[in-house]
Amino acid sequence: MKRLTLNLYFMRLFMKSVFGTLAIVFALAYLVDLIELSRRGRFDNIGFGTLAAISAFRVPSFIEQAFPFVILFGSIFTLVTLNRRMELVVARAAGISIWQILLPLLAGSFLLGAAATALYNPLASLAQTRSAQIETMVAGDRADENADRAPWLRQHGGGISSIIGAKAVTDGGRELGGVTAFVLNDNGIVRERIDADRATLGDGAWMIDRPVVTVVGFPPESRPSYTLPTTLLPEYIEQRLADPSTISVWELPSKIDVARQLGYNADAFIMRLYTLLAKPALFMAMTLVAATVAVRYSRLGQSGPAIIGGVAAGFVLYVATFLAQALGSNSVVPPVAAAWFPVVAAGLFGITVLLHQEDG
């Protein structure tokens, strides 16, 4: 009973540290993103309320990427607090091993990781999709579009061949933002160019709102609308243009099946799925890494090295995770190996260092 009470106390302190860190990170991310959006000329004609809503919908996806570091620093703050109060020293003197002390923190990390994957990820994906829809309606594209991408699709319909590209895709591939299309003649040569803020996929055609149409040899002409025939399916458009990070963990398996049926490389979506499934284990690994730099006793005012060590460990793990995801998404290594390698490496590192600190 006493052990259960102690474990609950450690877990409650850990949760308090994690959610406190999360609140600080959320506030900073929201403030920085809001300032960044405000300084962009493309939003000059948008009211502050709309701008604040866009930023509020964008921040959850940023926080999802920062979750492992929130767990890392939450664990460090918990252990540093226990050290400063001498509670960790007393627990060790009472014969409680470091593994017993870390057990409630590891359990809390696992629960937070499972919640982040099963509950938070769908909400963050929904918020990010909503943000993209708002930005598409008010500005024509997204503020974080990747200019290096080449999202061009060749399409046919109604005897017309064309190439269409977009900076943003929403509504499951049925709506595009920042649209550019080239209509080809029978010889495959461009005969006109279409630029518009928004296009919606209707029954066998793109409905393009207020486009600027440039016919070869004539000046640009603004039109109220333009209908561009197509035979593309929304599923194919989403697979080619959508960012895997905008898709919920519950939808990824079906998206992977669709991509395979269409003959499209699904490794980016598979990588995203395995990364989300590995998140509970990653959170536990972060707690172990935090323990390697914060579990030893430090006097008041001497916890700086622990925090610096945690920052260094988090940076190294972030770089390793980023490289692994890039390799897995581009079929260089199997996605399952790329998703789990940083987790296993961080976990083994933490266990090895703690064993050395405990047993020498």
Q: Which residues pair with 192 in a beta bridge?
A: 183, 215
Per the model's pLDDT, the better-predicted residue between 2 and 229 turns out to be 229
Q: Which residues pair with 156 in a beta bridge?
A: 161
Q: How far is CA 116 from CA 68, 317, 342, in A?
A: 10, 19, 18
Contacts of 44 (CB under 8 A, 6+ apart): none
Give the mean model confidence (pLDDT) for residues 78-100: 82
Say how far apart CA 182 and CA 200 lie, in whole Å: 17
**Predicted local confidence at residue 146, as pLDDT:** 44
CB count in 10 Å sphere of residue 173: 19
Task: Look at the block and give the residue holding tokens 């649209």.
Answer: 179
- Coil, strand, or helix at residue 5? helix
* Nearest alpha carbon to residue 13 among 86, 65, 81: 81
17 pLDDT more than 90: yes
Give the mean model confidence (pLDDT) for residues 199-215: 87
Kindly report the average pLDDT of the chain as a whole number.
Answer: 81
Query: pLDDT tens, 215-258?
Result: 877 888 888 888 888 887 776 666 665 667 778 888 888 877 87
**Predicted local confidence at residue 108, as pLDDT:** 94
Say how far apart CA 30 and CA 43 lie, in whole Å: 17
**Predicted local confidence at residue 149, as pLDDT:** 45
**pTM for this predicted structure:** 0.76
Say how far apart CA 258 and CA 153 lie, in whole Å: 17
The 3 state secondary structure assigned to 145-184 is: CCCCCCCEEEEEECCEEEEEECCEEEHHHCEEEEEEEEEE
Half-sphere exposure of 128 (CA within 13 A, CB side): 25
302 pLDDT more than 60: no
**Predicted local confidence at residue 313, as pLDDT:** 75
Report residue 340: phi and psi, to 5°: -95, -15
49 pLDDT more than 60: yes
Query: pLDDT tens, 53-72?
Result: 888 888 998 898 889 889 98
- Please report, rounded to a whole number, the percentage of residues in the chain having pLDDT higher than 70: 83
Query: pLDDT tens, 308-327?
Result: 766 777 778 878 888 888 88
The pair of three-digit structure tokens given for residue 337, joined into one six-digit string? 């190996």
Provide the b/e sequence for 237-265 (b: ≥16 CB within 10 Å): bbbbbbbbbbbebeebeebbebbeeeebe
Q: How far apart are the first and last CA of the chain?
A: 32
> 105 near 81, Cβ under 8 Å?
no
- Please report, rounded to a whole number, the percentage of residues in the chain having pLDDT higher than 90: 17
Q: How far is CA 332 from CA 34, 275, 324, 335, 338, in A?
A: 37, 16, 9, 9, 9
Query: pLDDT tens, 29-38?
Result: 999 888 887 7
**Predicted local confidence at residue 88, as pLDDT:** 79
**Predicted local confidence at residue 299, as pLDDT:** 47
